[in-house]
A and B are shown apart, each in its own frame.
Chain A
């Protein structure tokens, strides 16, 4: 079985400061990891993924995430947050050996960036 934990319901950060959204996971095999963002009244938008290779993954809108196998973490980061980054962020994992690629989503973290 696979699972994802996003330990923070909400993250508050001032505009221009670094933003970090935490995610830890559990899978039986090798993980495929994803981050999505959801703006109000919209569907989820894909930000980035880790499949293999370099532990630091760069994605859309200046976001990046660092895969840490020993800590089973995949934290999302942005060096300088914008007010427009305020949204709901979801981490998701799937086991690379799963037969059909079911994604397990975390509960989501609300990011609030204040001017």
Chain B
């Protein structure tokens, strides 16, 4: 597709279960970002990928959160032993050739709405 694709669009799970969220960036975009957005709030940065490596993981809230990216394309964000405070919308974005001097905007998917019961 032409845009960033995220799946599932909605996920409801029980507390303590593991969840895996998927992001398929725009073809050719080398940079990929994960954000978390709580209801009606701003964006909380989680992690950034350049290619398959993650130079900045500083936003991951705990060691229950992890992410990987394979083949410089699809990324998965995994949350283990989910807690109710993990309920939020998880947004993925991609951009073309970031780095010093880059002025490219980030392009966002529609997010995964995660609800922990």
Which of A11-19, A66-74, A76-84, A92-100 sits within the interface? A92-100
CA distance A52 to B99 in the complex (A): 17
B100 touches A99 (CB 8 A): yes
A100 touches B48 (CB 8 A): yes
CA distance A36 to B95 in the complex (A): 14
Give B43 Cβ to nearest chain A Cβ, in Å: 5
B1, CB-defined interface residue at 8 Å:
no
Residue of A nearest to B45 (CB): A102
- Overall SS of chain A's interface: loop
A105, CB-defined interface residue at 8 Å:
yes
Give B51 Cβ to nearest chain A Cβ, in Å: 12
Give B65 Cβ to nearest chain A Cβ, in Å: 18
B43 touches A105 (CB 8 A): yes
Residues in B whose Cβ lies below 8 Å from that of A51: 103
A-B contact count (CB 8 A): 65
Residues in B whose Cβ lies below 8 Å from that of A90: 42-43
Residues in B whose Cβ lies below 8 Å from that of A96: 100-101, 103
Q: How large is the interface on A (under 10, 10 to 19, 20 to 34, 35 or more residues)?
A: 20 to 34
A46 touches B100 (CB 8 A): no
A43 with B91: in contact, given A34-B105, A100-B50, A102-B45 (CB under 8 Å)? yes
A101 touches B109 (CB 8 A): no
Choose among B42, B48, B106, B109 the residue that contacts A107 (Cβ–Cβ < 8 A): B42
Residues in B whose Cβ lies below 8 Å from that of A49: 103, 105
A interface residues (Cβ-Cβ under 8 A, vs B): 32, 34, 36, 41-46, 49, 51, 88, 90, 96-103, 105-108, 110
Known A49-B103, A101-B95; further 17 A-B contacts with Cβ < 8 A: A32-B103, A43-B6, A43-B108, A43-B110, A44-B93, A44-B108, A46-B105, A97-B100, A99-B99, A100-B31, A100-B100, A101-B99, A101-B102, A102-B48, A103-B106, A108-B41, A110-B40
User: Would you list the 7 A-B pairs with minimal beta carbon distance, nearest first?
Assistant: A43-B108, A101-B98, A107-B42, A44-B108, A46-B105, A51-B103, A43-B110
